[in-house]
Amino acid sequence: MNRRDFIEGSSKLALSIWVLPSFARDWMPADKNERIAMGTVLFRYRFKQTKPKEISTITNELTLLDVPAYYKQRFGMRQVEFWSNHFESLEQPYLTQLKEKLKASGSKLVNVQIDSDYDVAASNEEERQKSVTHVKQWMDAVAYLGSTCVRVNPGRAKGSIDQSIRSMKELAQYAKSKKLVLLTENHFGIEMNTDLHIKIIKEAGPGIYTLPDFGNYPRATAMASLEKIMPYAYFISAKAMNFNGQIEHLSYDFDACVQMAERLGFKGIYSVEQWSPDYLDVDFEKVADWLITHVKNNIK
């Protein structure tokens, strides 16, 4: 690393740490083994809620209640990320069961991705308010489960930036009251414009951070876009996409993405994930092993 890269990386890391709330700074992982989590999106084929049409009968079906023990026993993963589509309920009895399963396996819920039907950038004020209320209900559940973070979409692609900022400012305050870190991913909405994404972070904060996803930008501009939002990152979705039968990643240089994040001073958690619009007939346990290995090989 040359002097310029060192100074640039150090200054960006200083910025990232400086803006973290006190409860978030206390959570930042201390060593390499604590810097990897696994999301349930990776095994979506095995959940009845997200089973692809190509599968008629699920082999080894999973539920969220199974995940903490399964991830720990098979992969040695104690840090888990849940997808909202895999929840069976937000009612107290179910959430209590889920909380007990996390505790029994010694696992930690580090993030929940909220992808239910809402649009906090809606121009229609009634729809915006309804969406904010909906997200707050999810935040209540996520906080009860003891999650560190919650990922909220700041609005659909053609939404109002002013409405998004208004909503996210309110949600940032609510997240703080629940001791949650609020994350916004580059997730195919209004925030896919990196300048707007950063504008939302700056104007709706403090208390909002980016969640860079390796796979969501167009490949031609992906690295430049990721580099732009990385200084505001608290958590990373270390996503891979297409694999062949030999478990070789075909879509882009995954290792280079991790290396870039490390070079820019990211010190948080990488949550390993796979997603592709194409149906993949592969062994997803082996995909998980590949992801864990490739993150470990590239972090400091």
Look up the domain containing 233 and give its range: 3-296
Q: Find the mean pLDDT for residues 165-185.
A: 98
The answer to whether the beta carbons of residues 232 and 191 sit under 8 Å apart is no
Q: What CATH number has the domain bearing residue 226?
A: 3.20.20.150
- Size of the chain, expressed as the number of residues it contains: 300
Q: DSSP character for 71?
A: H
Give the number of domains in the chain: 1
Q: What is the pLDDT of residues 12-29, one digit of tens each?
A: 444 444 345 444 445 566
Q: What is the DSSP letter of 44?
A: G
Quick: pLDDT tens for 89-106: 999 999 999 999 999 999
Band of residue 33 on the pLDDT scale cut at 50, 70, 90: confident
pLDDT of residue 32: 80
**pLDDT in the model for residue 30:** 60
The region that residue 53 occupies, defined by phi over 0 for left and psi between -120 and 50 for alpha, beta otherwise, is: alpha
| Total-model pTM | 0.91
At a CB cut-off of 8 Å and minimum separation 6, what does 92 contact? none
Is residue 121 a contact partner of residue 156, using CB atoms and an 8 Å limit? yes
Average pLDDT of span 33-47: 96
